[in-house]
Amino acid sequence: MIVEVAYALPDKQSLISIEIKNGSTLKEAIEASGILETFEQIDLAKDRVGIFAKFASLDTILRDKDRVEIYRPLIADPKKARKDRAAEGKAMQSDKKNQSKVK
């Protein structure tokens, strides 16, 4: 069966199509792709993996035409970033109200 293994950095992406035997696991596909040698920063003990944007474990059995994805750690917590942006927006609105009262 044919599967793809994907990994992306901000400036470089890799999508490798490989042929593996039926019953192969996600981990076996990653190892067979050779991507671990190309991107030495990948650490399967820490980095999350998935199939078509859904998290999966390394022992997940793959199906034909699956796309295995290796995810990089997040630099910023999306929930915290959203909360910070909302706080900035409230502060700007408050400043506008205060400026209009002064006039």
Whichever domain contains 65, its CATH number is 3.10.20.280
Global pTM value: 0.72
Predicted local confidence at residue 7, as pLDDT: 97
Q: What pLDDT, on the 0 to 100 scale, is given for residue 37?
A: 95
Closest to 25 in 3D by CA, of 7, 39, 44: 44
Count: domains in the chain: 2
Q: Do 66 and 100 reside in the same domain of the chain?
A: no
> 80 and 56 share a domain?
no
Other CB atoms within 10 Å distance of the CB of residue 60:
17
- For 41, residues 6+ apart whose C-beta sits below 8 A from its C-beta are none
Domain limits for position 99: 75-103
Mean pLDDT by 10 residues, the chain (103 residues): 95 95 97 95 94 97 98 78 81 63 55
